[in-house]
Amino acid sequence: MFHSKTILVLDDGVYTGLDLADAIEAMDGSVAGPLTTIADTLRILDSTPIGGAVIDCELPDAPAMATVLCEHNIPIVLQASGKLPEALRAFDGHRLHPDAPGKFQDGTGNLADRNW
């Protein structure tokens, strides 16, 4: 399903991160992470082509991570145990337009459903 693309896992839960990694690898993906900070995210983006990302909405850097990933035109999945935090609601079902930072466009779909 992921065709060997590298999927970034941004989560501070050890077991959740391992479960996500196992699921991604079972669907022919590679995993970068789990990571927990924007600094770690930027380091990976500088060194590794990323095909998508799963972001734990409870991470303090989650809004910054979502913004950076969308600015790089990387599809994201926001993982929340309840309602999306206010700072992340603008990303629900949208992504930043790569040519106009701060502008959103519809149609990202779910990470696993994207046509890679």
In this prediction, residue 29 carries a pLDDT of 92
In this prediction, residue 73 carries a pLDDT of 85
The 10 Å CB-count burial string (b at 16+, else e) for 90-103 is: bbeeebbeeeeeee
Instruction: Classify residue 14: in a domain, yes or no.
Output: yes
Is 59 within 8 Å of 36 (Cβ atoms)?
yes
Domain total in the chain: 1
Q: CATH code at 32? A: 3.40.50.2300
Full-model pTM: 0.76
* Rounded distance between C-alpha atoms, residue 79 and residue 46, angstroms: 24
Q: Which domain holds residue 41?
A: 6-106
Instruction: Classify residue 111: in a domain, yes or no.
Output: no
In this prediction, residue 43 carries a pLDDT of 95
Is 59 within 8 Å of 16 (Cβ atoms)?
no
Successive 10-residue mean pLDDT values, the chain, 116 residues: 87 88 91 93 94 92 91 87 81 53 42 37
Instruction: Classify residue 43: in a domain, yes or no.
Output: yes
Instruction: Classify residue 16: in a domain, yes or no.
Output: yes
* Rounded distance between C-alpha atoms, residue 70 and residue 31, angstroms: 18
Q: List residues bridging with 35 in a β-sheet.
A: 10
